[in-house]
Structure 1
Amino acid sequence: MKCVAARLMIAVGMLVGTLLPSQAATLNTMADVGAAIQACWTPPADAGNSTVTLSFSFKRDGTLIGPPRATAVKVAGDDKARQAFIDAATAAVKNCTPLTFSPTLAQGIGGKVFTLQLVSPKQLRSVSPK
């Protein structure tokens, strides 16, 4: 009985951890936003030297306004490799949000379109307004 109760507690703990937003650091600049998203980015293992530029917008509360959109893609390989790279990049942005913006950043961010280039092998690139 103790074993079943222990397993149940572990399962509930894991479920709560996935349902509740993490207490991420407050982001003060777009460079902070770029670094936060880059931390979520894991390019596909076989991506080689590839890049994708995504366009997206945030609400003031740190959630996305619609899905990220690929605006430029350079991937070696076939259509399947290209789509896998785009999917990994958009998943990084979706899985990292909502972000926690400082009041000053939140005030000016709502609805603006930003671009972010994600690169394989993984490199730090900045987020910039379009």
Structure 2
Amino acid sequence: MSAAIYACWKPPPGTAGMSLTLRFSLRRNGTLIGKPRATFSDLGTDSALNRAFVASILEALDEALPLPFSDSMGGAIAGRMLAPRFTATFERAS
């Protein structure tokens, strides 16, 4: 499930090492219940870059949802709190 969200995520350049944990719940049909909430962040000093980093995560969530759950998975996950951590990996030097 988290892999589907991570697959849609493209961290902006210059955000290597930044990290954010979101907390949210899903319905049995794979859509969000309410708004995601940040529970942990390790961001940088550039506020514009920080906003771009957070926006990239929210865009990935929007793109990935609704998640295609089977009936049994939807029933098991519905309403449970999820807390995936998004960490931008370090960029390679060219």
Tell me if TM exceeds 0.5: yes
For residue 56 of structure 1, give the secondary structure of its aligned residue in structure 2: strand
Shift of 1:49: 0.9
Question: Which 5+ residue runs of structure 1 have no aligned equivalent?
Answer: 1-32, 123-130
- Bigger strand fraction: 2
Structure having greater relative contact order (Cα 8 Å, sep ≥ 6) = 2
List runs of 5+ in structure 2 lacking aligned partners.
Answer: none
Larger-Rg structure: 1
Higher relative helix content: 1
In the alignment, what sits opposite 1:126? none
Asked if 1:73 corresponds to 2:41, the answer is yes
SS in 1 for 2:12: coil
1:68-114 deviations in Å (ceiling 9; x for gaps): 22111111232222221111111111211001011221111111111
What is the TM-score of this pair, normalised by structure 1? 0.64
Instruction: State how many pairs are aligned.
Output: 90
Alignment match, 2:51: 83
CA distance in 1 between partners of 2:12 and 2:35 (Å): 20
| TM-score normalised over the length of structure 2 | 0.87
Cα RMSD for the two superposed structures: 1.4
1: CA distance, partners of 2:30 / 2:43 = 29
Deviation beyond 4 Å, 4+ runs, structure 1 = none
CA apart distance, 1:67? 2.5
